[in-house]
Amino acid sequence: MKVFFLFKRKIISLFNSLSKISGWKALKNIIFLSAGLVLMSGLFFSFLRVLKYLRGVELIGEILIWKLTAMVFLMSFSMIMISSVVISMTTLYYSFDLGFLFSSPIDPKHIFIDKCVDTVFYSSWTLLAAMIPYVLALMKTLGLGWIFFAGYIAAVFPFISLAAIFGIALSLVTMYFFPSSRTRDATWIIGSLSVAFIYVAFRMAKPEHLLRPDSLEIVARYVNYLQAPTAPYLPSWWLTKTMTTLSAGKLEFFGWLSLLYLVFFTFYFILYKTSGKFYPSGVSGAQNIARFKGPITRSWEQNLATKFPSLRHFLFLFGRERKIFLREVKHWSQIILIIALVFVYIFSVKNLPLDTADMKSFICFLNIGAAGFVVSAIALRFLFTSISLEGKSFWIIKSMPLGMNEIFYVKLIFYGVPTMILSLILTGFSDYLLGADYFISFISIFSITIMSLTISVLGLSFGAIYPDFNVENIHQVESSYGGFIFMAFAMGYTAISVAILAGPVQMHFISRFNPIYVFEKKWLYISLLAFVIISFIISGLICKTALKKAEKYEI
């Protein structure tokens, strides 16, 4: 079958990419791999601690472990299923090589299967990587051997394929009956809403209550509930039964494993047979571009430019940035996820088990670091990628009688100001909900304002130092070497900022506990001044370097 030649093409392409890795690229890959291993190690020890804690519960310890495992598999199945809705649209209908493949003497059904493999991989590889530490921690907690891990590998393939089939089938049917590029935009929004809903619903369920001793007494009364199947008609429960029977050494393991593979082959055989009719029609319809309808009206930026001619260049660039942002539906999907993140963040802060006012104020200070991490992630998504997303059209800006500093200012204001407002919302609401004292509230609000401005400048500057104008999607920019350097730099800056401000905060708490202690405010002013100077020096030097490099761009 020619589908195997398509798979062979992927393997050859992979080996060609590996063979052309230079010494510098190899070093970068080693750095990324090391960072990933460190992260997976942290997940392993975290999972191990939770599972050992549950194992120590008398009578129901092992039942709790397998109940948690069933919940993990169910959540993974749901996330892969939702992720496949978005990814299948891109891989099946908007891949860069579809024009070449359809012009070749290849059956469209084989091309469809090739793209299905891409969909399964891209929608599940991150969750699979996160599940490996959990399975290893499960093995260590229950004293299971490597045969258990081999059985997991054998069972997880049909599991993730059945999860991804939802998005593949939905895309296949949707693009057949609604063949338009607008359909992809709607799918992006629906997928983002679904992910946000699952994320918020899971957090509001307060899963941490299962790990509290006072709650375990209540849970122990519901042993029958713990032993009941979790979504028994979904592959997540079949995978759970496969693992439980394998750990117990029962022959039922082969029955549950056969069920997974039987359902997997059945559904994909149906898809394969129907794709010959549905897939080519959907690919053809996906190339249709929506036409502009309606009268052309002047924007508010153009109206202001006529009243304030000195701001004409700034307003025109700002209007251009705004229109590009509004036209790109992927930005709106990210905003939906950010709203969900803000809700969960504030909800988590509100439900922190804190008893004393001083402890709440101390947590509000530490919250600066958490807010700095959130701001860094948002800056990575919007500010760092803003230069690279100009793509091949960046020459249009370069041909204008403008300096790169003007372009930088527009992008910094357009993306940086909302980022700063978001950081103030996170910090301000956290201080209000926890009842932080005035001193801690002032420190947190002041510091997060300077930090969000600095991180925004760093994000835009590193994006200009390490641009990539040839990427196909925004995730390639975020996961690039430059993105890794920016996040490392932003996290280092956040840690330094918290360390500088820790001195005055420590003296503040000492003065609260010891009335005799005199809080010398000069140390507060020195720390704040040092924090501001370091922030502006770091952002100024990096921004100056970025402007020099951006002036030398040749597209």
Q: Domain extents for the chain? A: 2-7+22-286, 300-551
Q: How far apart are CA 228 and CA 157, in angstroms?
A: 25
Question: Would you say residue 225 has pLDDT above 50?
Answer: no
Question: Would you say residue 187 has pLDDT above 90?
Answer: no
Mean predicted confidence (pLDDT) in 215-232? 51
Question: What confidence score (pLDDT) does residue 95 get?
Answer: 77
Question: What confidence score (pLDDT) does residue 229 get?
Answer: 57
Q: How far apart are CA 141 and CA 439, in angstroms?
A: 46
Q: How far apart are CA 410 and CA 74, in angstroms?
A: 44
Mean predicted confidence (pLDDT) in 200-216? 51
**Entry field: residues in the chain:** 555
CA 161 distance to own-chain centroid: 21
421, 292, 454, 448: which is closest to 364 by C-alpha?
Answer: 448
Question: What confidence score (pLDDT) does residue 233 get?
Answer: 76
**pLDDT tens-digit readout, 259-311:** 999 999 999 889 888 888 888 877 776 665 555 455 556 677 777 777 777 77
In the chain, count of helices (H) and strands (E)?
22, 0
DSSP code per residue over 403-428: -HHHHHHHHIIIIIHHHHHHHHHHHH
Question: What confidence score (pLDDT) does residue 452 get?
Answer: 92
Mean predicted confidence (pLDDT) in 331-357? 70
| Share above pLDDT 70 across residues of the chain, in percent, rounded to a whole number | 77
Residue pair 88/187 in contact (Cβ under 8 Å)? The answer is no
Question: What confidence score (pLDDT) does residue 260 get?
Answer: 92
Please state at what angle helix 61-93 crosses helix 146-177, rounded to 10 degrees: 40
Question: What confidence score (pLDDT) does residue 274 get?
Answer: 87
Q: What is the mean pLDDT of the chain?
A: 78
pTM of the model: 0.65
Q: Which two tokens stand for residue 179?
A: 């063949």
Question: Would you say residue 258 has pLDDT above 90?
Answer: yes
Radius of gyration of the chain (CA): 27
- CA dihedral (461, 462, 465, 471) in degrees, to 10, reads -120
Q: How far apart are CA 48 and CA 46, in angstroms?
A: 5
Question: What confidence score (pLDDT) does residue 362 get?
Answer: 80
**pLDDT tens-digit readout, 125-156:** 888 888 899 999 999 998 888 899 999 999 99
Mean predicted confidence (pLDDT) in 157-164? 90
| Share above pLDDT 90 across residues of the chain, in percent, rounded to a whole number | 10
Return the minimum-mean-pLDDT range out of 23-27, 415-419, 459-463, 544-548.
Answer: 23-27
| Tokens 């509100």, located at residue | 350
Residue predicted with more confidence, 370 or 336: 370
Mean predicted confidence (pLDDT) in 235-241? 87
Q: Which letter does DSSP use for residue 391 in this model?
A: G
- CA dihedral (374, 539, 474, 190) in degrees, to 10, reads 30
Residue predicted with more confidence, 554 or 533: 533
